[in-house]
Structure 1
Amino acid sequence: MLKLTLVTPEKKVFSDKEVEEVIVPGEKGELDILPGHAPLITTLKAGILRYRLKGSTEFNKAAISWGYCEVYPEGINLLADTIELPEEIDKDRAKKAYAEAEKRLQQAGLIMDEYIRAQRKLEKERARLEL
């Protein structure tokens, strides 16, 4: 059994929730974390966090944006810019934000920083819409 803690700069989503498995969207691909996993710290990208609660066969999900995941023998600490549970997401607002980010990416003359911001926004909204 692992204890999962989810934190953003604004709030603690939950702390020490007992889970059997966690799948995080790492920068280099998905990472499946089970009890006994080797300790590590990894970076996260925008995507879907999946976690299976103790005694459950179903995964719960949350949309996350960039951050870090720390795995240690007893659990996992996940710190991300944003973490949203399905019931917190306004799908209409997410669709509109996704369309705006997509339009922004298609504009000519974007400097690299603007392009990266628009790309990150697109990835974040895509994750929100997948829930």
Structure 2
Amino acid sequence: MSTIALDVVTPNGSVFTDDNCEIVILESTQGELGVMAGHVPTVTPLKIGSVKAKIDGQFEYLAITDGFAEIRGDKVTVLTQAAEFADDIDTDRALAARKRAEELLKRAHEEEIDEVRAELAFQRAINRLNIAQFK
């Protein structure tokens, strides 16, 4: 079976690289996108979500913030502000972040709180909790 390389890059550098992915599944703003070797070249925006890579029959899961993916026939490069492996997610911290964001959203109409920023924090916390299930 042909494989495709994956490189997940944050401002701090590459956090995941593998040359032997069977499939890479991305959450684009247009929906889920499965990428295999030979895929048509594409650049797509990504939403807060996950990157799933099947390697040797097993999936690796990463929680990411929004970003972009550059897809070529032999490689997928994901550019994102932050990426975290399912095994590395601190669920207590993610639960606390979700609670803080929920409280901010409840008070957003009463006080001068940036509702968009609070909503994004909520989405990131939920995403991290969802991906942590794959530990």
Structure 1 and Structure 2 fold alike (TM over 0.5): yes
1:15 is displaced (CA, Å) by 2.8
Number of the residue aligned with 1:27: 29
9, 20, 23: which one pairs with 1:18?
20
Q: Which ranges in structure 2 are unaligned for 5 or more consecutive residues?
A: none
Q: Which ranges in structure 1 are unaligned for 5 or more consecutive residues?
A: none
Distance 2:52 2:129 in 1: 15
Q: Identity over aligned residues, as a percent?
A: 31
1:2 is displaced (CA, Å) by 0.5
Distance 1:80 1:110 in 2: 31
CA deviations over 1:34-79 (Å, ceiling 9, x no partner)? 12211100111111211101xx222110111111100011110001
Number of the residue aligned with 1:127: 127
Number of the residue aligned with 1:39: 41
Number of the residue aligned with 2:115: 115
Question: 2:37 is aligned with what amino acid?
Answer: P
What secondary structure does 2:118 align onto? helix
Question: 1:74 is aligned with what amino acid?
Answer: D
What secondary structure does 2:104 align onto? helix
RMSD over equivalenced CA pairs, Å: 1.6
Distance 1:51 1:44 in 2: 15
Query: Where does structure 1 differ by over 6 angstroms across 4 or more consecutive aligned residues?
Result: none
Number of the residue aligned with 1:67: 67
Question: 1:117 is aligned with what amino acid?
Answer: R
Alignment size in residue pairs: 128
1:105 is displaced (CA, Å) by 1.3
CA deviations over 1:66-102 (Å, ceiling 9, x no partner)? 1110001111000111100122211100000011111
1:28 is displaced (CA, Å) by 1.8
Distance 1:41 1:110 in 2: 39
Question: 1:38 is aligned with what amino acid?
Answer: V
